[in-house]
Amino acid sequence: MALRPLAAASLIAFALTLGACQDGTFGGGGSTRHLTPIPPKTLSLMQTKGMAQGDPILIRAYKKEAEMEVWKRGSSGQYALLKTFPICRWSGQLGPKTKQGDRQAPEGFYSIAPGQMNPNSAYYLSFDTGYPNAFDRANGRTGNYIMVHGTCSSAGCFAMTDESIAEIYAIAREAFAGGQRAFQFQSYPFRMTAQNVTKFRNDPNAPFWKNLKEGSDYFEALHEEPKVGLCGNRYVFGGADAAAGSCNPKVETLVAEKRDRDNQEIAALIAKGTAATRVVYDDGDQNPVFRKQPTSALASLGSQSEQDPAYAPKDYARHALGDVSRPESLAAGPREVEVDAKGRPVTLAAAEAPIPTKAAAAALARKDGAKDGKAGASPTLMAKQAEPAKPAAPARVTVADADSDPSAYGKVFGNLFGKAPAPAPATPAVDAALPAEPAPVQAVKSAHAAAHPARKAPASVVKSAKVEAKVETKPDAKAAEKGAAAPAKN
């Protein structure tokens, strides 16, 4: 009987481990899959590019494009791209991982040592990304055991399929055998091009992504691994001075020139009217090569693999995926939303235009009266005239505001903004039919007046009504003021 609580605790720990994308030694201790050799086709590719099995490596991941690149350093000391692997599954949204359980795949610069390689992974093979690193801890981020592994199921990890992780693992293993002590893993929300930086310039994560781009620029300009340091809660990149903790490391000429070119291109794209957007996912995405394709589509993929032997979509489409996490989220696909300078959806900003003041409304009424030859009419009589009904605000389909509509905001954007509520389950059909917000009291009265214009009454009735109006005007005004001052009850 005493063993039952222990067994139950073990089962719970096992379930939590799987749910958190964590890895342990329970996944097949006697396996030799970690000894799988590098495929002959990849060895041939290395030879073509002047690379050796034992040369150092560097890995770069891009969430939006769902791709992972393996680079190798040649005898020149510079890195060159060896091969690009499509990512079968990543979860969450574009943006960094900030806390345990948020299903976010991390973004940043990480170091992978031999001790982080797991040959007995429950997900075939894996390596630990090293999240949280010093930068993550400085920014109060929590979580652990975020892996790059096999299968096609993710809860914050990068799932590559068993075949792909076996090859990546073998390449890393040979690099360690060749003397590399650790390789750098760079994780980005998207490729750091001028076009992408322009599109996502108003995203709340834009300042963080701009910081990541500094490290990306260094690598792309020099093809050398950037040394990574920490200054307060920011990354610093460069040479030995950055590694030593300098907050202003030397910027190499080629790096500065690349940044200048990108900044000029960004400015030109904005001047041309390139819209600022955000991409929203139900729960991450995957590379299109893993989606079911008709036979004709698979045949067309062959031409691409012939042109680029390092990336063969036709081959990856045949990978055994196993259980794919949250397939309904993949079916929904990403949604791109145009946003304003504050990062709010443009449609929402237009729908929330400020209501004209009473003075402005009266001035407009006098102007309209003058056009109709009624310039002498009093403001009181004008106010009594029926106003045209205002057009209904556009239905909120993929827009929401954390302040005015927290539930709708959460369904569309999840916790992308700090003040937003926790993500709700994906319900795209419900999101498309969100009810409009109640109109202000004054707007309702105006619309009622427009819908029910006053009928002509006999002179005697009009006279009586005027007498009653004089008696009741002030109490009604006070009641209205009290109603306006009373807080709304939810």
Tell me the C-alpha distance between 24 and 486, whole Å: 58
Question: 350 pLDDT exceeds 70?
Answer: no
Q: What is the pLDDT of residue 392?
A: 47
- Indicate the burial class of 249 (C-beta count within 10 angstroms; 0-12, 13-18, 19 or more): buried
Q: What is the pLDDT of residue 394?
A: 40
Q: Are 410 and 420 in contact (CB under 8 A)?
A: yes
Read off the pLDDT band of 42 (50, 70, 90). Answer: very high
Question: 188 pLDDT exceeds 60?
Answer: yes
Q: What is the pLDDT of residues 70-97, one digit of tens each?
A: 999 988 899 999 999 999 999 999 999 9
Q: What is the pLDDT of residue 319?
A: 75
Query: Which residue from 210, 202, 206 is spatially nearest to 339, judged by alpha carbons?
Result: 202
What is the average per-residue pLDDT within 202-212? 97
What is the average per-residue pLDDT within 186-213? 98
- Tell me, letter by letter, the H, E, C secondary structure of the chain: CCHHHHHHHHHHHHHHHHHCCCCCCCCCCCCCHHHCCCCHHHHHHHHHCCCCCCCCEEEEEECCCCEEEEEEECCCCCEEEEEEEECCEECCCCCCCCCCCCCCCCCEEEEECHHHEECCCCCCCEEECCCCCHHHHHCCCCCCCCEEECCECCCCCEECCHHHHHHHHHHHHHHHHCCCCCEEEEEECCCCCHHHHHHCCCCCCHHHHHHHHHHHHHHHHHCCCCEEEEECCEEEEECHHHHCCCCCCCCCHHHHHHHHHHHHHHHHHHHCCCCCEEEECCCCECCHHHCCCCHHHHHHHHHHHHHCCCCCHHHHCCCCCCCECCHHHHHHCCEEEEECCCCCEHHHHHHCCCCCCHHHHHHHHHHHHHHCCCCCCCHHHHHHCCCCCCCCCCCCCCCCCCCCCHHHHHHHHCCCCCCCCCCCCCCHHHHCCCCCCCCCHHHHHHHHHHHCCCCCCCHHHHHHHHHHHHHHHHHHHHHHHHHHHCCCCC
Query: Which residue from 447, 346, 456, 364 is spatially nearest to 401, judged by alpha carbons?
Result: 346
Q: Which two tokens stand for residue 143?
A: 């979580």
Question: 456 pLDDT exceeds 70?
Answer: no
Question: 421 pLDDT exceeds 60?
Answer: no
Q: What is the pLDDT of residues 223-274, one digit of tens each?
A: 999 999 999 999 999 999 999 989 999 999 999 999 999 999 999 999 999 9
Q: Which two tokens stand for residue 459?
A: 């002179």
Q: Which residues contact 158 (CB under 8 A, 6 or more apart)?
A: 61, 68, 87, 89, 90, 105, 129, 147, 148, 149
Q: Is the Cα dihedral 190, 194, 196, 200 positive or negative?
A: positive
The winner for highest mean pLDDT among 13-17, 73-77, 168-172, 353-357 is: 168-172
Query: Which residue from 208, 206, 172, 189 is spatially nearest to 87, judged by alpha carbons?
Result: 189
Q: What is the pLDDT of residues 111-141, one digit of tens each?
A: 999 999 999 999 999 999 999 999 999 999 9
| 35-39, 253-257, 425-429, range with the lowest pLDDT | 425-429
Instruction: Please state the φ and ψ torsions of residue 163, each to the nearest 5 degrees.
Output: -65, -45
At CA 293, angle to CA 287 and CA 296, rounded to 5?
130
Tell me the C-alpha distance between 202 and 254, whole Å: 28
CA 128 to chain CA centroid, Å, is: 22
CA 345 to chain CA centroid, Å, is: 14
* pTM given for the model: 0.68
Residues classed as catalytic: 149, 157
Per the model's pLDDT, the better-predicted residue between 371 and 159 turns out to be 159
Q: Look over the chain and give the mean of its residue pLDDT values, rounded to a whole number.
A: 76
Q: What is the pLDDT of residue 343?
A: 86
Q: Which two tokens stand for residue 390?
A: 């205002």
Q: What is the pLDDT of residue 27?
A: 46
